[in-house]
Amino acid sequence: MTLAGLFVPLVTPFTADGGLAADALSGLAHSALTEGATGLVALGTTAETATLSAAERTRVVEICAEACREHNAPLIVGAGSNCTADSIEAVAALSPHITAALTVVPYYTRPSEAGVLAHFRALADASPVPLVIYNIPYRTGRTLGAETLRRLAEHPNIVGVKHAVGSVDDTTIELMRTRPADFAVLAGDDLYLAPLLALGAAGGILASATLATPAFAALVAAWRDGPLDQARSLGHRLAALSTALFAEPNPTVIKAVLAAEGRIPSPAVRLPLLPASEAATSAALAAVRATCPEAVAERDHGGHREYRESKTALENCAAELPAKMLV
């Protein structure tokens, strides 16, 4: 299998008393898929997975899986930790109906690259679904070279990487040059989506897309199909949006904006995260409205269910974005 397109990693909405807001999560899932996302990611970093109970994690996957079934869309589920034995148990327990598992590079213990190879090969051998490696060294403390990623790509059950290294560095360029054709590189840093698409990335896993799905879908399509001058202009605008949404620790600002829009019941996050500041929230709201004003207006005036069921404003937004973004 080859993964491609826009995948939206969903937040986990909480109620005012701190519980899982299941209906709000379902609404976000359906909205993302209606608005142009290729698929969803459940239990990623944006979901605050480390703070969820086992029962909450199960429910999150159930809700996302139901939405993906209705839309015939792929679902990637986060699974694994810095313990190989626990990670094997986690991926082995995944439903074979899930499209792929997103498995993080072992963190904190800082294994050698040979140890990382052995870790992922053990997971891939045990997993009933293909693996997408989550390469995010500024969270894990373990960088991976392009050769290590290429060797991992040789395993038939490792199909891609969420590449979030915080830059477009030498490793990124070498990876894009040497990766197998059927190994998907998915941008994992929202700010660097456009440069990675220009280098040949298959798509992205992007938290910012929760708030501007048509625009991010249009950007992926523009780099694939052209025109490239419009792709570049739109990429610059969306980079500014992502900067605003990541001004404070993720997903605090995204949840604050979703709550302000009435799409989730509360901006609450769980400790050790703290809620986004008023200044960051206001700046992000302005950035969202500047990026896709028609879709925001439809949310404001049409109600969320009607908004999901009517594609008119969304199609207009996606169709007109390139022209709007020319600078």
Give residue-wise pLDDT tens across range 229-273: 999 999 999 999 999 999 999 999 999 999 999 999 999 999 999
Let me know: does 30 contact 52? Beta carbons within 8 Å: no
User: How would residue 292 be classed by pLDDT, with cut points 50, 70 and 90?
Assistant: confident
Is residue 102 assigned to a domain?
Answer: yes
Q: How confident is the model at residue 326 (pLDDT cuts 50, 70, 90)?
A: very low
Tell me the mean pLDDT in the region 287-304.
Answer: 69
Rounded to whole angstroms, how far apart are CA atoms 78 and 117?
A: 19
In a domain, 53, yes or no: yes
From 162, 192, 307, 324, the catalytic residue = 162
* Residue 309 resides in a domain: no
Query: Does residue 323 carry a pLDDT above 50?
Result: no
Percent of residues, the chain, with pLDDT higher than 70: 90
Distance between first and last Cα of the chain: 38
Assess if residue 262 is contained within a domain.
no
Number of separate domains in the chain: 1
Residues annotated as binding site for pyruvate? 46, 205
Residue 264 lies inside a defined structural domain of this protein: no
Residues 6+ apart with CB under 8 A from 260: 267, 281, 285
From the number of C-beta atoms within 10 Å of its C-beta (0-12, 13-18, 19+), residue 46 rates as buried
**Does 15 fall in a domain?**
yes
Note whether residue 296 is domain-resident.
Answer: no
- Residue 25 belongs to a domain: yes
Which tens digits make up the pLDDT trace of 157-192? 999 999 999 999 999 999 999 999 999 999 999 999
pLDDT for res 306 = 37
pLDDT in tens, 2-39: 799 999 999 999 999 999 999 999 999 999 999 999 99
Q: Which amino acid is at 126?
A: A
CATH of the domain at 28: 3.20.20.70
Q: Which of 15, 42, 45 is nearest to 254 (CA)?
A: 45
Active-site choice (134, 192, 255, 324): 134
Neighbouring CB atoms inside 10 A of 198's CB total 15
Question: Is-catalytic flag, 255?
Answer: no
Residue ranges for the known binding site are 46, 205
Q: Which residues form the domain of 127?
A: 5-224
- 10 contacts 40 by C-beta, under 8 angstroms: yes
